[in-house]
């Protein structure tokens, strides 16, 4: 199975920062693309970080064209990223639009409890045009059974509980970070599930490939972990500001120039 995942461009395990205690590279073979996604026009580029990165040189990444960032805030109901405040503030201070993400552990506690933990420890949202909606990172389990011991209906129920609780606290639907291989296995392909959550797809290749059946398009795409997690936003800078809920986004230059 790991070989087939790697050939399709999916991670053979979770990325190294997915679980607070997880080990391994999390990177599929062949992740370095012959034609890097940055070569495509009319998109915005960003990064995501966690406690694994420690203190981040945000100015460097801004100068390399990164305009947004997601920072890991929490995992389950007991873990918080000790570097979160510095990382989140640092991204903001250089001018990036930033948001927070939560790593799901559906076998440890309910979706509502984990959403509340997330909101209380960095996952809040502000309608300032600089804060992206929070992310539910749900993918291969770094600690045990792939689908966290849950049936497809159990996984769906957990996701819906998390999403509903997060929205009730923030007014925003969370972005869902996942990959198609895990979604097929743990949610299924024919489930009548309606989601209006933005999709953050992970696939280390030159194209996103097939998306989970609940989505026709993606909002973010994580395409490599080298030299750190790098992402494409499927739109221009004005679209990114709109996603962050910024008033007057129509007056923002589409290319993000100041």
- Residue 97: helix, strand or coil by DSSP? strand
Q: Is position 137 annotated as part of the catalytic site?
A: yes
The closest of 73, 75, 144 to 105, measured between CA atoms, is 75
Q: Is position 63 annotated as part of the catalytic site?
A: no
**Active-site residue (options: 8, 17, 21, 48):** 48
The helix (H) or strand (E) run that includes residue 102 is: strand 97-103
Q: DSSP per residue over 125-186, as a string?
A: --SSSSBPPPEEE--S-SSS-TTTT--HHHHHHHHHHHHHHHHHHHSSPPEEEE-HHHHHHH
Cβ-contact 70, 100 below 8 angstroms = yes
Q: Is position 210 annotated as part of the catalytic site?
A: no
Token pair for 42: 């009319």
**Active-site residue (options: 21, 39, 128, 137):** 137
**Active-site residue (options: 8, 17, 64, 139):** 139
Distance CA 193, CA 215 (A): 10
Token pair for 37: 């996604």
C-alpha distances in angstroms, 51 versus 11, 54, 82, 106, 244? 20, 5, 7, 21, 24
Question: Which residues carry out catalysis?
Answer: 48, 137, 139
């Amino acid at each position: 199975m790991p070989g087939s995942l790697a050939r399709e461009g999916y991670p053979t395990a979770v990325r190294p920062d997915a679980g607070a205690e997880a080990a391994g590279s999390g990177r599929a073979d062949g992740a370095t693309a012959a034609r890097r996604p940055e070569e495509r026009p009319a998109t915005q580029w960003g990064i995501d970080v966690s406690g694994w990165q420690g203190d981040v040189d945000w100015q460097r990444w801004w100068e390399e064209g990164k305009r947004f960032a997601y920072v890991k805030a929490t995992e389950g109901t007991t873990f918080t990223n000790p570097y979160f405040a510095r990382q989140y503030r640092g991204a903001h201070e250089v001018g990036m639009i930033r948001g927070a993400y939560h790593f799901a552990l559906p076998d440890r506690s309910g979706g509502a409890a984990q959403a509340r933990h997330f909101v209380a420890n960095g996952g809040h949202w502000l309608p300032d045009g600089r804060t992206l909606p929070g992310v539910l990172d749900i993918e291969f389990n770094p600690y045990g059974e792939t689908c966290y011991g849950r049936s497809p209906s159990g996984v769906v129920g957990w996701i819906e509980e998390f999403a509903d609780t997060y929205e009730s606290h923030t007014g925003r639907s969370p972005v869902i970070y996942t990959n198609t291989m895990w979604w097929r296995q743990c949610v299924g392909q024919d489930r009548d599930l309606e989601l209006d959550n933005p999709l953050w797809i992970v696939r280390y290749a030159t194209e996103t490939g097939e998306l989970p059946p609940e989505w026709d398009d993606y909002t973010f795409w994580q395409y490599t972990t080298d030299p750190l997690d790098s992402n494409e936003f499927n739109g221009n800078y004005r679209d990114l500001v709109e996603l962050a809920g910024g008033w007057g986004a129509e007056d923002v230059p589409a290319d993000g120039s100041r």
